[in-house]
Structure 1
Amino acid sequence: MKTTKDEIIKDAVDQLMDMFKTGKLPEKVAFSIIHRHPGDVIPSDSWSIGNRILQMLQGTADARGYKQWQDAGRQVKKGAKAIHILAPLAYKVKDKDKLTGEDVEKVVVKGYRPIPVFRYEDTDGNPLPYDHDYRPHKYPTFFDVADKLGINVSYRPITSNYLGQYSISTNSIKLCSQDAIVYYHELAHAIHATFVDLRVFDRNKAEVVAEFSALVLANIAGVNGFEVQGFDYIEHYAKEHSHNSIMQEIFSVLNDVEKIVTTVLNVSEDEVDLAAV
């Protein structure tokens, strides 16, 4: 357990550096900017980009101090652990402007201090007035399929390290991205679950099925630009990472992919130009 100021700051730096190393930082930066509530509805909307990223790394889009939650009519759950954001230790110093030679005041940051805050998920109490609609202005092609198959789809701010999630127990899809490819991926999982038991099915293979199905559906719908991302995703879940083994992995799931795509095309009323595919 992190107890000292230096340990807390080191942990925050390590998390951010890991995002640089894994290439996930641009994605997190984008979501922390795009998914802000209009008008600073929640306190963290006014935080620095770095602290909003640290917040999302802890699986939440809303973190506040203990008293802030009480003021909002919510109480931190017993035993909940605080997460930490970093406040700069800033000082004003006098200096000379290098161009004009005039005396000027500069703000110098000489370090950081951790501030404990608690996640919304670790509180109970009054519902909060998040006056923001995360649904896209235009739904993806084949969006009618989920409703016709009894699958509930909801859009929400990113609150964990996933862009989309399908729940077998509730037969529902949560989307933290408006990209069509994310919907297609989770829809593929949902349809896949109608003819295999995903609870015991090989998880890596299930991800390959979902992503390749998503790429096929995106191609049919005329959604382009996700091919490299999709290949990287499949490569990650393939047993081996050579091109040959990845192709073998794809060929081994094509029957399931065909069933999923055929279901979508049979159920949807959206018109697509199959001749162009």
Structure 2
Amino acid sequence: MKYDTEKAREALNRLLAMFASGDLPPAVARTLIRPRGGSSKPSDTWSLGNRLLMYLAGTEDARGFHQWQEAGRRVKKGAKAFHILAPCTVKKIVKVTDQETGEEREEERKVIVGFRFIPVFRYEDTEGKPLPEVKYDPPEPPPLQEVAKAFGVEEIIYAPGNDGSYGFFSWSNGKKIVLHTHDVKTWFHELGHAIHHTFRPLQGGQVPEQEIVAEVFAATMCEVHGVRGYHQYSWEYINHYAEGNPQEALKAIFRVLADVEECLRRVFTAKQARKEEVAA
């Protein structure tokens, strides 16, 4: 495939025209990576925040002291734990309204009243019985994976997710892209964040401008690579950050267009450099 800025500009213009007209290709179903039978890890059910803490600690598997014992491994002497947060819940009687009848009734529910710290240890700080190796990587690497290192990405991790999150880019303590799906749109989105971070340092959290840059970059990359089916999701995502107002969404896109185009220029430059490096 020929990579150049003119091709990207054409794809971006087609994308903007589709967003403006609302004439978008039919959407495909989104997917999430699910744990395989018999190979699940406690962290597969953790919150996104706790999984992020685990990856920042430099591991893809962390468990409590007794959980490691149950898995046939023991924590090495002198190993230090890091901590995740677990909710403290109590049972309370609450009043709920039946949506069909409008009647009120009492119901017992678990209510979160706080959080507590739980110490966990990295797999790398344990020894003993080998664990079954499970790889969640896609059968074929996604487009542009080979240039990710040019933007400081040290690791790309595919792992199950349980809270609807499709992935995230972490830039502290080593840059990582974590993906809970094989959907190429999510890969392009997180790569967009990594590229954006190289010239405009990202802020923590879901900052609208940052998210729109990454999503327009992702949708453009899908268009460049002939991947159809994700444009509708991209538009809905961008519209969400414009408070559901299509006109404001289009204005928001044009406000960040310079950053999107810079991301496109940088990824094509990296692609060409990689091609020349392989040919040398």
User: So what's the TM-score if we normalise by structure 1?
Assistant: 0.58
Q: Secondary structure at the match of 1:191?
A: helix
Name which of 143, 167, 170 aligns with 2:170.
167
Structure 2 equivalent of residue 122 of structure 1: 120
What is the alpha-carbon distance in structure 1 between the residues aligned to residue 83 and residue 46 of structure 2?
Answer: 21
Task: Find the counterpart in structure 1 of residue 147 from structure 2.
Answer: 145
> Cα gap change, 1:78/1:232 in structure 2, threshold over 3 Å: closer, same or farther?
closer
Which residue of the partner structure matches residue 195 of structure 1? 199
Relative to 1, partners in 2 of residues 1:63 and 1:259: Cα closer, same or farther, differing over 3 Å? closer
Preserved CA contact (<8 Å) 2:156 2:178 = yes
Corresponding residue for 1:133? Answer: 135
Deviations along 1:86-142, one digit per CA (max 9) or x if unpaired, are xxxxxxxxxxxxxxxxxxxxxxxxxxxxxxxxxx98345526624111221211122
The answer to whether structure 1 residue 180 and structure 2 residue 179 are counterparts is no
- Report deviation, 1:246: 0.7
1:249 to 228, 237, 252: 252
The structural deviation recorded for 1:265 is 1.8
Counting only pairs closer than 5 Å after superposition, residues 213-232 of structure 1 correspond to structure 2 as 213-232=217-236
Structure 2 vs 1, CA of residues 253 and 68 (structure 1 numbering), >3 Å: closer, same or farther?
closer
1:244 maps to amino acid = Q
Call closer, same or farther: CA 1:123–1:201 in 2, change over 3 Å: closer
Q: 15, 38, 41: which is aligned to 2:39?
A: 41
SS of corresponding position for 1:260: helix
Quote the RMSD (CA, aligned, Å). 4.3
Q: Distance in 1 between the 2:47 and 2:181 partners?
A: 16
> TM-score, with normalisation over the residues of structure 2?
0.57
Q: How many Å apart are 1:36 and its aligned residue? A: 2.4
> Which sections of structure 2, spanning at least 5 residues, go unmatched?
1-28, 52-59, 76-80, 89-117, 276-280
CA distance in 1, matches of 2:121, 2:150: 35
Structure 1 residues 205-236: Cα deviation after superposition (integer angstroms, max 9, x where no partner)? 10011001110011101111111111111112
AA paired with 1:132? V
Question: In 2, Cα distance between the equivalents of 1:70 and 1:246?
Answer: 52
Shift of 1:166: 1.4
Check whether the contact 2:160–2:180 (CA below 8 A) recurs between aligned residues: yes
Are the structure 2 counterparts of residues 148 and 204 from structure 1 closer, same or farther at C-alpha, using a change threshold of 3 Å?
Answer: same
1:180 Cα deviation after fit: 1.3
How far residue 80 of structure 1 moved from its aligned partner, in angstroms, is: 7.0
**Do the aligned partners of residues 207 and 74 (structure 1) sit closer, same or farther apart at CA in structure 2, a change above 3 Å counting?**
farther
User: What does residue 115 of structure 1 align with?
Assistant: none
**Secondary structure in 1 aligned to 2:160?**
coil
* Alignment size in residue pairs: 202
Provide Cα deviations, 1:188-213, integer angstroms capped at 9, x if missing partner. 11111111121389911100110011
The question of whether the paired residues in 2 share the 8 Å contact of 1:56 and 1:158 is answered with no
> How many angstroms does 1:167 deviate by?
1.9
Alignment of 1:97-116 (within 5 A): none
| Percent identical | 28
Moved more, 145-154 or 59-68: 59-68
Give distance in 2, aligned partners of 1:148 and 1:244: 36
Q: State the distance in 2 between where 1:143 and 1:65 align.
A: 34
Does the aligned pair in 2 maintain the 1:42–1:62 contact within 8 Å?
A: no
For the 8 Å contact 1:74–1:123, the answer to whether it is kept is: no
Cα distance, 1:168–1:123 mapped onto 2, change above 3 Å: closer
CA-CA distance at 1:256 after TM superposition: 0.6
CA drift at 1:187:
1.0
| Letter aligned with residue 139 of structure 1 | P
C-alpha separation in 2, matches of 1:202 and 1:79: 24
Q: 2:156 maps to which residue?
A: 154
Structure of larger gyration radius: 1
